[in-house]
Chains A and B, each alone.
Chain A
Amino acid sequence: MLTAVLSGFGGAIAAPWLHRLAPRHAGWLAALLPFVLMIYFISLVPTVAGGEALRFSYAWVPGLGVNLSFRIDGLSLLFALLITGIGTLVLIYAGGYLANDPMLGRMLTLLLIFMAAMLGIVTSDNLIGLFVFWELTTISSYLLIGYKHEYEKARKAALQSLLVTGIGGLALLAGIVLLGQITGTLELSEMLKRGDTVRAHPLYSSILALVLFGAFTKSAQFPFHFWLPGAMEAPTPVSSYLHSATMVKAGVFLLARLNPVLGGTEAWQLLLTFFGSATMIVGSFLAVQQTDLKRILAYTTVSALGTLVMLIGVGTDDAIKAAMVFTLGHALYKGALFQVTGSVDHETGTRDISHLGGLRTAMPITAAAAMLAALSMAGLPPMLGFIAKEVQYKANLSEPILIGVALLTNILTVVAASFVSLRVFTGQPVHTPKHAHEAPLSMWLGPVALALGGLGAGLFSTQIGNLLIGPATGSVLGKVKAVELVLWAGIEGAAGQALALSGVTLLAGIGLYYARSIFPRIAAATAPLAALGAESWYHRTVSGMLLLAERQTRILQNGYLRFYIALIIITTLILTSLMLLVGQVTITMPQNWTDVRVYELAVALIILSATAFVLRATSRMAAVVGLGFVGYGTALTFLLFGGPDLAITQFAVETLSAILFVLVVYRLPRFGNLSSVSARLRSAALAIAGGALMTILTLIALAEPTESRLSSFMAENSQSLANGRNVVNVILVDFRSFDTLGEITVLGVAAIGIYALLKLVVPSEQEPRVETDGSLDGKTEGVPRERTEVIDA
């Protein structure tokens, strides 16, 4: 089980080698992994459909309640099958789509990382684990949208999606922590039983807001829907996988998963149905105004996600069932249509519907798959999309407003479905930038398989209902629920009313398709609204933050080293003195402080005279040497007073920093005393104040009782628990090794940063966008060469 979830990461490491060894078949080979995983998950279907949930747990940081635990119930299994099934087809597709791209290996790596992370989300039983996987999908989505990183548009879209979903992720983390504190567990299977505690808790509304913020940003709900169409900068396999079938449904998944904990309240129903409905209308309304095939599909995806959120908000048994059927149906047809779009773009050189038409003769197989998938999207029998639409109408029959919203959305979806199928593949062939011909096997296999999946699921709806939809619905509702899914429900009662609504939808949709010339006019009329939209707020916020950063950098980091040092000392002085004044600290002189050995006195003298020497030095090299003496003297005191570890490290660090200084000093202009007497006096006062503060702090530390339980624990147990007599080292590599891991990671990042600062030479004419802000100079040269001010203090 752990292997199943995490094998994607292993596959990700292997993918570039696969691509190097077998560049022509890399996609097929990489697809083997999700295929095997899919078989594995299919083999679990009978068990899970029988009402059992499989659970596996591995201790991770049990002290904090964080475990790698996995649980597969109906909901997880439905999503896991989508992730691995569509993943298989997408990897094959990517192999064909990017066949001539030398970076294909990287693409496969990222897709596999994403797949593993997504599997982690849907199978995690621990909320912290879920969150880690959640963030991993955000990061892999960022890298995948920015795959063509040489284009500014791709970089911007990638950053936009990262910022929007990243902020949502932070909110979600806060929500998870609160949930964990209220329920006392981070394991979902435990938490799901304590929904009443959570709903009655005064913090419920905060938790709800935080979790919804996370889910809404991830699933592109209004008003955060704008990042999803932007994400269409990604290559089409990515759009097909992440941005239609799986990742954007993570938010919906989370809502479904937490439904037993958070759901059922008035606030939950109101917020979810409101934002879901708004997203449905905004998404479908914007979809029909687009001419780019991918953007049409992106906006219909937005509206489909809205539908799912709305249905979960309604929360009745029928609504949840409708949400699950629609999740499956939508993933199948939308994945297929995205891949069709990619094939059309790949073979004709355009994906603008006003330059496409009559492709059915040139691309018969792709055309057939597109038609079939579009039938499901439009909700025609016998496709699964039809059933999804019927149950959706039936679930909302008692709510006239929701029926109105659903009707409008579905009509516009029919129009969009006609755009991506009829408009592109029927009618007279038109001239395209590339001579159109059928896509290769790897690129029509996916659309055909997914479209046939939609047909098959419609025809075998009873089995699908029993095996997949029923268990999934049951886990969302938190109770066992038998689901009956039929293609033909008859014309009696509710089923008849739903059928009538479907008929209206279809007729109106086709009517609007033939009256499509009105959409550009509507688009022009509503264009000013965009200025009020969330996207413009996003841009304002980002540019405002950049401006703020620039201003504060100008002030705080103005290039004068003496200013930095002064600022640091003054800040420390003020903050620490305040704390000392507030904290009522008594300073006592150590009693036997006059009891000094001769050699201790000698070391003190060395330090003092070296300091005096540094102050009077007339060359930088001399000052460096003097500082080295001060450092070695300090190391000697460590040695004398029983800190040999510190002493050795201090010696090594002093040596290296002396060399560093020499290397840098070498590049500075000639030494000179340019500062005025008053400036020097100011600096002296500051230095004395800083030194005095440190002395006081040392005295306070000495006066504190030394018997801390922590240090004696570590001293006593270092031999017995960690097999080491050197307590310092045992703390570093065993007791607190997690801290050390963090520290060496930071060190590594710092080294890369230094390398980049010193090595990065920006060719100014090729990349004019890189800001050449005066406050950041030195980044191309490393050390400011021309500056003389640096030395004058």
Chain B
Amino acid sequence: MYSLILATATRLLIPLMLIFSIFLLIRGHNEPGGGFVGGLVVGAAFTLYAAVYGVSQAQNALRFDPKRIVAVGLLVALVSGLLAFFQGLPLMTGLWYPQPLPVIGKVGTPLLFDVGVYLVVIGITATIMFTLFEVEGE
């Protein structure tokens, strides 16, 4: 069932949700937020998209296979932990860039790790939701 109201609202909502998710991700280290909830918001955005426009459209909008996003996310999280190792420090020691960047604030490997979590959660949510939508569509 196609609803014009929902379709229009979705077009407006999704960019907002994506921006909000990045906001959550970046502020997470100091204020409520973080990669996990940010990823859930993105997942919700694409679920909404899939509900309105169908899975193949949502898949196109996401560009990447959600399962790959999971894999990349895990890799990012792992690499963020390994970076310290290559500096001769114990695994997963937080490394920080000394100067805070404008807007983002201080950046370091924990933020990179959180990006990994963010990607994994996006990938998982999208994998589960898209698959369920597809099975339902059969």
Contact = CB atoms under 8 A, between A and B. Distances in A.
A binds B: yes
A726 B88 contact: no
B128 A649 contact: no
Contact of B128 (A68, A645, A653, A754): A754
Contacts of A482: none
A751 B124 contact: yes
B33 A645 contact: yes
Interface stretch (A309-317, A527-535, A687-695, A728-736): A728-736
Q: Point out which of B67, B70, B89, B134 has the most chain A C-beta atoms below 10 A from its C-beta.
A: B70
B130 to A, nearest CB: 9
A733 B44 contact: no
Contact of B24 (A648, A733, A751, A755): A648
Interface in B105-127: 106, 108, 110-111, 113-114, 116-117, 120-121, 123-125, 127
B90 A734 contact: no
B132 A758 contact: yes
Interface of B: 24, 28-37, 40-41, 43-44, 47, 51, 66-67, 70-71, 73-74, 77-78, 81, 85, 88-92, 94, 96, 106, 108, 110-111, 113-114, 116-117, 120-121, 123-125, 127-129, 131-136
Contact of A656 (B33, B44, B88): B44
Interface stretch (A224-232, A544-552, A738-746): A738-746
B110 A659 contact: no
Contacts of B70: 748, 751-752
A759 interface: yes
Interface in A707-734: 721-726, 728-730, 732-734
Interface in A415-469: none
A195 B54 CA distance: 67
Contact of B88 (A58, A750, A751): A58
B44 A652 contact: yes
8 contacts: A724-B29, A729-B29, A732-B114, A740-B117, A744-B116, A747-B120, A754-B131, A755-B127
Contact of B136 (A61, A663, A741): A663
Contacts, number: 161
A734 B37 contact: no
B3 to A, nearest CB: 15
Contacts of A666: 136
Given A59-B88, A59-B90, A758-B132, A733 B35 contact: yes
B32 A648 contact: yes
A741 B90 contact: no
Nearest to A736: B92
Contact of A733 (B31, B110, B123, B132): B110
A667 interface: yes
B27 to A, nearest CB: 8
Contacts of B29: 723-726, 729-730, 733
Contact of A752 (B33, B67, B116, B133): B67
B124 A747 contact: yes
A741 B78 contact: yes
Nearest to B43: A656
A433 B118 CA distance: 58
Nearest to A652: B40
A751 B78 CA distance: 18
Interface size classification for chain A: 35 or more
Closest 4 CB pairs of A and B: A652-B40, A644-B32, A724-B29, A751-B124
A63 interface: yes
Contacts of A725: 29-31
B129 A659 contact: yes
Q: Point out which of A62, A667, A748 has the most chain B C-beta atoms below 10 A from its C-beta.
A: A748
Nearest to B29: A724
A645 B34 contact: yes
Contact of A726 (B31, B78, B91, B94): B31
A755 B77 contact: no
Contact of B135 (A59, A732, A782): A782
A596 to B, nearest CB: 25
Contact of A748 (B24, B44, B120): B120
A290 B90 CA distance: 53
Contacts of A656: 40, 43-44, 47, 125, 129
A362 interface: no
B25 to A, nearest CB: 10
B73 to A, nearest CB: 7
Name B's interface SS. Answer: helix
Nearest to A662: B51
Interface string A621-652: 00000000000000000000000110111001
A60 B114 contact: no
A553 interface: no
A47 interface: no
Contacts of A790: none
Nearest to A750: B124
Contacts of B91: 59-61, 738
A648 B38 CA distance: 9
B94 A723 contact: yes
Contacts of B44: 652, 655-656, 659
A576 interface: no
A747 B110 contact: no
B63 to A, nearest CB: 18
Given A649-B36, A722-B94, 4 more contacts: A652-B44, A663-B133, A733-B35, A759-B131
Q: Point out which of A652, A721, A725 has the most chain B C-beta atoms below 10 A from its C-beta.
A: A652
Given A645-B33, A667-B136, A723-B108, A652 B90 contact: no
A390 B64 CA distance: 64
A754 B127 contact: yes
Given A649-B37, A732-B34, A659 B120 contact: no
Nearest to A666: B136
Contacts of A729: 28-29, 33-34, 114
Given A60-B91, A663-B133, A733 B128 contact: no
Given A60-B85, A726-B28, A747-B120, A660 B128 contact: yes
A487 interface: no
A733 B113 contact: yes
Contacts of B81: 737-738, 741
A63 B114 CA distance: 23
A783 interface: yes
A48 B129 CA distance: 59
Given A663-B136, A725-B30, A652 B78 contact: no
Contacts of B135: 758-759, 782-783
A724 to B, nearest CB: 4
Contacts of A733: 28-29, 34-35, 110-111, 113-114, 117
Q: Point out which of B28, B74, B111, B116 has the most chain A C-beta atoms below 10 A from its C-beta.
A: B28
Interface string A58-94: 1111110000100000000000000000000000000
A58 B85 contact: yes
A739 B89 CA distance: 19
A703 B94 CA distance: 36
Contacts of B74: 744-745, 748
Contacts of A500: none
Nearest to B105: A723
B78 to A, nearest CB: 7
Contacts of B133: 663
A748 B123 contact: yes
A565 interface: no
A755 B29 CA distance: 32
Nearest to B41: A652
Contacts of B125: 656
B77 A748 contact: no
